[in-house]
Structure 1
């Protein structure tokens, strides 16, 4: 996988002599916890863990807040944010112009390239091969992954699932030819199902990921400052190293 950080953007933000202070605010964070390694539920402890969790907690350490993650289905997560069920969304959310019309994002904390996860025996298959085979590409509904799948193979050749777990199960069962998914999570599934699943196609569309707030939320500025701080002191790089081996 490849990760790219927007160093220039962080530098432009600058670091104030005194960091923003949210006064110990306890923030509720909505997250679709079916997307390892970004966020998932640890079966041993029942705790929500993952890269996004660590990023938000690291930011909160810098700007004096605490975060409580709440498992929320992807379908409806932004509506729940607007209704005040939580204060922000941290769920591997791609920053898009369409989404920016109705919600505010922090600066990007990670840029991910989309990929196609497939069965090992199909290694070497191309998008053209998938289209010619008549088999479908799977993706999670209402995601940029689903949008890209439709661009690549056409809507009739896309199978949509409520969760990426459902899409991966369909792949394992041979119901679909591949799953379009962020390269970060594709790597996690490839590792979990080594010998069965493989990242077959890489280098597709790149998406910047950001934390999501309601339109006009003043906490965006504080989170941007905290994000700049964990980029500057190496914490963000350390978290990437914790979860992935970059090429």
Structure 2
């Protein structure tokens, strides 16, 4: 899942409560969590948290252009437990990693998958969520396996997301069958319009779409070919102080039950 200007941006993300890239920027405090905005630490430092708020249910914008979602609620709970302050910045997916590297933001909280390539340029907290890639299939298509995916005419992915990586491994980097989009909203809209045979994306995001759009008759197909992945919060390499603060806070919200409450809010059956 590139992230944006401080405290939440304006960008329309819809059809699914999903989201994954892009947007214009506008400041706005996040009010989308059950946990109140945490008090500032003694130092007064506010950690700048960037996310691409187009990837519901992890992050999206509400009608007031405030960031909301699982990652927002989790960060707010962690900030309360760790007694630190956070400010949210919504920006395009492909701008997130450069923003962190350049020091424009302190933390990425945007359903970022931990992988070896990313570990070369940033540091990750302990994992906070487990997912896998799945195939979203419209009712008029018979796609139930990776072999079926190979025979599809067009498969949609979000550029730079792990779904893109997974499909590239199957179809090849230069395959004309791969259709890349800026965000999840756009790729699923194209699937709805009949321009794609399938979409590959994160299981929790696709599951959220299917649940909230049951009238469309789409199905989520899980295949063993896609590996289990984990999301982590990302900080700059060498920022051990922030990394420890986040890991300690994550352990605390798991221990005090706040993590489970937030999980159940978004993912309870």
Q: Report the TM-score, using the length of structure 1 for normalisation.
A: 0.85
CA distance in 1, matches of 2:151, 2:42: 55
User: Is this contact kept in 1: 2:143–2:149, CA < 8 A?
Assistant: no
Give how far 1:108 is off: 0.4
Looking at secondary structure, tell me which structure has more strand per residue. Answer: 1
Q: How many residues align?
A: 224
Cα distance per residue 1:7-66 (max 9 Å; x no partner): xxxxxxxxxxxxxx77443111110111000000012x2211000001111110011112
CA distance in 2, matches of 1:202, 1:50: 27
Paired position in structure 2 for 1:82: 101
Paired position in structure 1 for 2:230: 208
Uncovered stretches (5+) of structure 1, i.e. residues with no partner:
1-20
User: Is this contact kept in 1: 2:109–2:234, CA < 8 A?
Assistant: yes
Give how far 1:120 is off: 2.4
Give how far 1:124 is off: 5.2
CA distance in 2, matches of 1:222, 1:102: 20
Give how far 1:245 is off: 2.3
Uncovered stretches (5+) of structure 2, i.e. residues with no partner:
1-40
Paired position in structure 1 for 2:58: 38
Paired position in structure 2 for 1:11: none
User: Is this contact kept in 2: 1:81–1:87, CA < 8 A?
Assistant: yes
Cα distance per residue 1:107-139 (max 9 Å; x no partner): 001111211112123265332223224x12211
Give how far 1:193 is off: 2.0
Cα distance per residue 1:203-239 (max 9 Å; x no partner): 5321110001011112100100000011111211111
Looking at secondary structure, tell me which structure has more helix per residue. Answer: 1
Give yes or no for the alignment of 1:226 onto 2:249. yes
User: Is this contact kept in 2: 1:32–1:71, CA < 8 A?
Assistant: yes
1:127-166 equivalences under 5 Å are 127-133=146-152, 135-155=153-173, 156=175, 157-166=177-186
Q: For 1:167, which of 179, 183, 187 is the aligned residue?
A: 187
Paired position in structure 2 for 1:8: none
Report the more deviating stretch, 190-199 or 29-38: 190-199
Cα distance per residue 1:115-172 (max 9 Å; x no partner): 1112123265332223224x12211111211110112233312211111111111111
Higher relative contact order (CA 8 A, sep 6+): 1
Q: Secondary structure at the match of 2:214?
A: coil
CA distance in 2, matches of 1:35, 1:48: 11
CA distance in 2, matches of 1:125, 1:174: 18
Q: Report the TM-score, using the length of structure 2 for normalisation.
A: 0.78
